[in-house]
């Protein structure tokens, strides 16, 4: 029962939509009704500027870190990667659920973001190399003006990297977090336009949008 309560709290903590709260408070805007409809830091930046973005981003990272830290338990060291600690199953599940809550928030009728910020926080506690990979993908994406593609590349690299550094439980932690992030990209913010064809799902996965041209 304690484990179930802990995991439920992880989901609910992840579901707190800081970006939407600040957008509504500062600009009177519901991010679900702006642009692509993604409740994200970039959407908040467009309607409220950098300072609210920094606050919301920090809070989203913090909720991922707090959830992972709360779930942290003594765990055996991995037999690979120079003895790096293997995440526990509870840590992997909690980290995954905080991203699920962020991506499909019950407070937003199932809408949400893409889970990058809470993933940065959660990985920072249980497997910092995951945080490094995500940040590298974001930076590379920004420099090449392909942020979504850079993020996708880093997400794909996380599971094999954590498997190599932290063993099977590292791979589990990678999949638990990356899985809902990739699923959210494919699902988008709603069904594609009629007649779009299956190619639209590949565009969503790679570029986080429904078409191939920005």
Contact indicator for 180, 94 with CB cutoff of 8 Å = no
High-pLDDT (> 90) share of the chain, %? 79
Average pLDDT value for residue range 101-117: 96
Whole-prediction pTM: 0.93
Pick the residue with more confidence: 139 or 34? 139
CB atoms within 10 A of CB 157: 18
How far, in Å, CA of 169 to CA of 166, rounded?
Answer: 7
Domain residue limits, the chain: 2-207
């Amino acid at each position: 029962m304690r484990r179930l309560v802990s995991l439920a709290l992880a989901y609910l903590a992840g579901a707190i939509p800081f970006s939407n709260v600040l957008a509504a408070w500062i600009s009177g805007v519901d991010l679900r009704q702006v642009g692509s409809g993604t409740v994200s830091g970039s959407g908040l930046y467009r309607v409220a500027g950098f300072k609210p973005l920094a606050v919301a981003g920090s809070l989203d990272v913090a909720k991922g870190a707090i959830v992972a830290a709360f779930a942290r338990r003594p765990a055996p060291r991995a037999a690979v990667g120079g003895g790096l600690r293997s995440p526990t199953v509870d840590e992997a599940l909690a980290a995954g659920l905080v991203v699920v809550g962020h991506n499909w928030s019950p407070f937003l009728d199932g809408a949400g973001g893409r889970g990058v910020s809470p993933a940065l926080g959660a990985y920072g506690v249980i497997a910092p190399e995951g945080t490094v990979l995500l940040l590298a993908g974001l930076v590379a994406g920004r420099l090449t003006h392909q942020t979504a593609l850079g993020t996708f590349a880093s997400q794909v690299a996380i599971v094999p990297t954590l498997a190599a550094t932290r063993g099977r439980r590292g791979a589990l932690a990678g999949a638990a977090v990356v899985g809902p992030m990739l699923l959210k990209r494919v699902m988008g913010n709603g069904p594609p336009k009629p007649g779009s064809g299956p190619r639209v799902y590949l565009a969503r996965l790679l570029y986080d949008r429904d078409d191939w041209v920005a």
